[in-house]
Amino acid sequence: MTEQFTIGERLRYVREQRGMTLESLAERAGVSKSFLWEVERDRSGISGERLLSVANVLGASLDYILRGQPSPEMDEPQSVEIPRELSEFAEEQGLTYGQTLALLEVDRSLVARRRRTGRTPMSKQEWERLYKGVQPFLEDRQ
């Protein structure tokens, strides 16, 4: 699939190549099935944040999704290791997969800026404090 295809067509292509249903992708990415259906058929646009969430679930690069550029990431899905404490916290709070990934990305972004060495894993209480601080930004990932 090359540059001549639309973002929606590339999303659909990758989803089908991964053997994922529209329903499972929508659930894991934290978007509705009907919204994703419309995006794949170019009847609706998609925000950068939601596109990133969908691309992460698919294990596809944004270069490929946006421009049709091949990427080594297209060869196989990238796994995301969610720390046990975050997973437990997310389950207790009823967070979607997209919200959980976003919270993990916020943490990684903060750590990258502060560059703490020898960092110990965060506890559930620390994940809760971080979540409460960024909760308004995660609400549209439901």
What is the pLDDT at residue 11? 93
What is the pLDDT at residue 74? 47
7-74 to CATH, choices 1.10.260.40, 3.20.20.140, 1.10.10.60, 3.40.50.300: 1.10.260.40
| Positions in the chain whose pLDDT score sits under 70 | 1-3, 70-78, 110-119, 137-142
CA atoms of 35 and 44, how far apart (whole Å): 7
pLDDT digits (tens, 9 = 90+) for 41-57: 999 999 888 898 898 88
Collect contacts of 65-69 with beta carbons under 8 A, ≥24 apart.
Answer: 65/7, 65/10, 65/11, 65/14, 66/7, 67/3, 68/1, 68/2, 68/3, 68/4, 68/5, 68/10, 69/3
* Burial bucket for residue 25 (CB in 10 Å: 0-12, 13-18, 19+): buried
What is the pLDDT at residue 72? 45
Residue ranges of domains in the chain: 7-74, 84-141
